[in-house]
Chains A and B, each alone.
Chain A
């Protein structure tokens, strides 16, 4: 058993799929970053805010001044371009991973599952020889060229994609999604203006169909992609599914990243053919035959790489289950919600009113959230307890800076989840300055409207 796994991982495979993956991923990311800059989001998200919601343990990651932030995004765009071209690939991959992840760590307001996915792919790309075939590096230094490498360099991407889809599907197996068609029952009718299918979207059974189809799709698609017999059939659904979500929801580049990334499931022949045809576009003389050059990793490096990869995938498997360590309804408390491929799962909105008290004068006043937070930050903060706590601590510091000793900060928060009437979210009498952030359960979150446990 172990031997056969080892054999699968280390037997040689052609590099064409990895080269295509590198090009497609780099190109989509380049476009994605340019779009981000062109939309003015660098300024809006990373220059104009006065406060940033750091990740626990990453408070030391700070934004640069305006020019610096634009510089980071410029470098990021260039590194994805170089990655796609396979030019100075290793350096480009390290830079793209570092710059992208740096930006993502700045503010959890902007957390998106697909940004997390991009960071992971960037990290994995650093460790694979995606530049040793069909790249400018090979033209620059012909001795770099290899046609084959151990199987794992391709398999890790398939495994990562499998985990993303499968966990996204697992997350959909909750009563509200399956038996109430929530939140699609709210979301779909609001798209009734879409041509052709618009009127259909207002039907309740369509919301159920979409919910069940979505769950089955996520759970089965990676496996259907794995087998050659079902692959084309599956890829048709990949395109249909992601284009549909792109039309219906505001989810940016995510559909295209997935449509591009899942190409890696296709066969070596498919990718070699793709490369061959691409070459033919530029030069007639391209030949299909090539001399095999295998890349044999030195055992030592390979051992370390293997250990790191095992560690990475162990984390990937375990992290989405950490929610089970916390009490209460996951969707309500969001303890252990992020980094788990829970995509488009709930309709949640909230409103938070902070009350500050000067214990010396016993004066209490209301905080103007929009004096400190961008609309997006305020919106995200209002439904996520860790951000509510962070903001309370920021306010404590702010009022201390104004000369108020030991200000008390309380928050009155109302949250609506999947269309239930908004309810009090946390204990409004609690002085949040007395509570320290930690991985411990936040017992100051009030009970959820539905008792359902995911």
Chain B
């Protein structure tokens, strides 16, 4: 009986404590007054979904151009299809880093942009016909790199000549349809995922903020720094440059893709003109870190904007600047991957596990 009474007092006491503090909210300095729901809504409604919609349109235009090129192979149609490929490849840079949720489910990045293209595989697929693009061995024989190879790898007249073989046109169609259907799938899934994204608050594994920051860091590290610059300049191959491993090697517009990708990363960090990670950091009392990150972003921008030619040319003539670009990106990775999650309380891991 006594014990029960004590329990009751305790319960009452704790209720009292909880009830008490609502009254004096104003006096306390909030450690963070970030409206996370508004932040996520801004990212999904103003950036992610519009970017995907733009990407879907550009992939669809590319498909239409490919359709007409396969039907009627002439210089005009080839010019158009090359242009549409370049446009779609640039818009891809606005969504490539969103590899979570629907995109991760379908592995969009792995389907759309594994480069360099496996040219031998592509040619053997063309010859054999009926390739299954979902097979593991075909990851480098589809998507943008393969389209780049098929449409840009030699002179226009030679390409027009090659496509007189109808099997080549079939494969072009197959790759184009595959990219188109996977893109459509991701965008269709986002329609229902959008709400999940906006309502998965918090910073744990599985929260939208957690997934986004992890996805951004993984992209910045592996697919931006390494894929677009590090690997071509030989950082991963004992210093031996691999220029033919650059993105859009045949179309020779690697730097335009690099610039588009970085602009998109910067845009999502800033939340376009709304609430972004920058505001999140400021509200968590890390305005100093935000300043440092912004300075670093500006430095990287000026580095990548100075290149205009092709990646192989830059490797040949301006390797030291590429190396220094790489180092500047490296610094941003430390700020994004170590400092930003630390200040926001986000768990950085691509793996689910217990802690203590």
Contact = CB atoms under 8 A, between A and B. Distances in A.
B330 interface: yes
A349 B356 contact: no
Interface stretch (A6-14, A90-98, A371-379): A371-379
B254 to A, nearest CB: 20
A202 B31 contact: yes
A414 B334 contact: yes
Contact of A368 (B10, B29, B236, B351): B236
B238 A191 contact: no
Nearest to B222: A370
Contacts of B230: 366
B6 A233 contact: yes
A194 B202 contact: yes
B226 A368 contact: yes
Given A189-B284, A190-B345, A233-B6, A114 B21 contact: no
Nearest to B286: A419
A365 B338 CA distance: 23
Contact of B30 (A41, A204, A379, A422): A204
B356 A114 contact: yes
Contact of A376 (B292, B343, B344, B349): B349
B181 interface: no
B134 interface: no
B16 to A, nearest CB: 14
A344 interface: yes
Contacts of A191: 202-203, 345
Contacts of A205: 28
Contacts of A415: 338
Contact of B356 (A112, A363, A368): A112
Given A358-B238, A370-B222, A349 B30 contact: no
A278 interface: no
A448 B59 CA distance: 51
A421 B288 contact: yes
A364 interface: yes
A308 interface: no
Nearest to A41: B353
B299 to A, nearest CB: 17
A121 interface: no
B333 interface: yes
A203 B7 contact: no
A200 B222 CA distance: 38
A40 B278 CA distance: 36
A353 B30 CA distance: 36
B202 A365 contact: no
A330 interface: no
A375 B202 contact: no
B333 A379 contact: no
Contact of B10 (A187, A233, A351): A233
Nearest to B292: A421
Contacts of B343: 186, 419
B6 A416 contact: no
Nearest to A356: B238
Interface stretch (A215-223, A249-257, A314-322): A249-257
Contacts of A358: 238
A348 B18 CA distance: 31
Interface in B300-356: 330, 333-335, 337-339, 341-356
A439 B318 CA distance: 47
A410 B286 CA distance: 31
Contacts of B207: 193
A39 to B, nearest CB: 7
A328 interface: no
A347 to B, nearest CB: 5
B184 to A, nearest CB: 31
A334 B235 CA distance: 31
B237 interface: yes
Nearest to A382: B338
A191 to B, nearest CB: 6
Interface string A325-340: 0000000000000000
Given A200-B21, A421-B288, A421-B292, A349 B338 contact: yes
B69 to A, nearest CB: 39
Given A363-B239, A416-B342, A422-B335, A202 B354 contact: no
A236 B330 contact: no
A349 B348 contact: yes
Given A204-B30, A351-B334, A376-B349, A232 B205 contact: no
B352 A39 contact: yes
Nearest to A237: B10
Contacts of A419: 286, 342-343
Nearest to A32: B354
A113 interface: yes
A300 B235 CA distance: 66
B152 to A, nearest CB: 29
Contact of A189 (B31, B341, B348, B350): B31
A215 B14 CA distance: 19
4 nearest A-B residue pairs (beta carbon): A190-B345, A252-B354, A193-B201, A190-B203
Interface of B: 3, 6-7, 10, 14, 18, 21, 25, 28-34, 36, 201-205, 207, 222, 226, 230, 234-239, 284, 286, 288-289, 292, 330, 333-335, 337-339, 341-356
27 contacts: A113-B356, A186-B342, A189-B345, A190-B344, A192-B32, A192-B34, A192-B201, A199-B25, A203-B30, A204-B28, A204-B29, A205-B28, A236-B10, A343-B356, A347-B345, A348-B342, A350-B338, A363-B238, A365-B235, A365-B236, A365-B238, A366-B235, A379-B348, A379-B349, A416-B342, A419-B343, A421-B289
Given A202-B33, A349-B339, A379-B349, 4 more contacts: A113-B356, A250-B347, A253-B354, A421-B292
